[in-house]
Amino acid sequence: MKVGIGYSENPDSLAAGIQAATNALEQAHREPPCDLALLFSTVRHNPVSLRKAVASILGNNVPIIGGCAIGAISNTRFGYAGDQIVLAAIWLEGIGYDLIVEGNLAGQEMDAGKRLGEKLAELGIEKNSPILFFYDAVDQTQGKPQMNMATPLLEGISRTLGFLPGVIGAGLIGDYTGSPTWQWTGDGIAQNRALALALDPRVHVDSAALHGCRPGTGYYRVTKADRQTILEIDGQPALTFINGILKNAIPPEDYAFFLILGINGGRETIDETDYVNRLCIAIDRTRNGIVMSEPDMLEGTEFQIMYHSIGLDYIPGRVEELFSRLGGRKPVLALYINFASRAAVYTGIDLEDAFVIQEVVGGRVPLMGIYTGVEIAPINGTPCPLDWTGLFCLFSLSQ
């Protein structure tokens, strides 16, 4: 298996696709056609023109899989909220894969997940099977941007299979305003889809969730909730309770995409690998509630209020740990799935975590990164959606 990465910020979609595909061939030192391509771009690009350009270089019959992202990362370049695209050209060399595409996500995530699970079952997927999973996170069916939810999607898969396989992936968004997104589905272009790329069992995927948050309080308990809206905390109206804790240091109007709640199972020890972070995406003034990114903070859930950790010095050690696990396996691709609001323009720090990732990876393996709305990774062995997380994945093959 051989991978080459291409990157472009050319605003012309045809030129950008040609540049990125050509760069991918040069990095891989291979000739076209390749066997498979992963492609991600911001919503500024025309999906038809971009796909056409990539196919003209990599091969017109090459399956192209991917979709929208707020930004992109390669071994040497990164950017966001502009005209970025990133491309991985893949020569499989006998490594197999299966692609499942399931539609009708909006308001029907559980059913879509069940259908995905049925198709995965037909493939004989097992608990340790590696699966790359990308879904359209933006629901525009109601006339204004809403979020498709990962929690019921994954629950639907689990209900059908009886377990969750080794799912890693992302909820795709194309800009910071929730503009309509698109996806490349192998041989076409679509919206409102979930894509599951089931990889050959010979492919190993090691991952590290880099949350970048620390607990700032003790534990509190959700005492009433309605789907993704927390209505009561410790018996008090949720909005009133949080405002009392923060003591107006942050006005409720600023909670959205800033307030983070961490779920740690009530453990006394602080271990980043145990945490699932949930981001507040709105407040509900009418019901005095806070609206979270996923509908899984049910009655009885214990949580802590998290604060953003400014330092990035923890990242190199976590990444090096994955490289040290390889043993005799050969690394073929590094994938970094980065929560879009971790970009320096939002965190208020000078150093980008993308740059830190680039430095620690170096030239050891091709690096592809995307800025996303949701990250999916195993926490304590079970895949789940995450917020405010950088997910570093290292793909390798047994030799």
80-125 pLDDT, tens digit per residue, is 999 999 999 999 999 999 999 999 998 899 999 999 999 999 999 9
DSSP-assigned states of every residue in 163-205: S--EEEEEEE-SSTT-----EEEESSEESS-EEEEEEPTTEEE
Instruction: Looking at the structure, give the CATH architecture of the domain made up of residues 214-308.
Output: Beta Barrel (2.40)
Q: What is the DSSP letter of 148?
A: -
Beta bridge partners of 368: 335
Say what the pLDDT of residue 321 is.
Answer: 96
Show me where the domains of the chain are located. 1-212+309-399, 214-308
Number of Cβ atoms within 10 Å of the Cβ of 229: 18
> Is 70 exceeded by the pLDDT of residue 381?
yes
Provide the whole-model pTM: 0.95
d(CA 198, CA 120): 8
Of 346 and 131, which is predicted with more confidence? 131
Average pLDDT of every residue of the chain: 94
Of 270 and 364, which is predicted with more confidence? 364
Length of the chain: 399
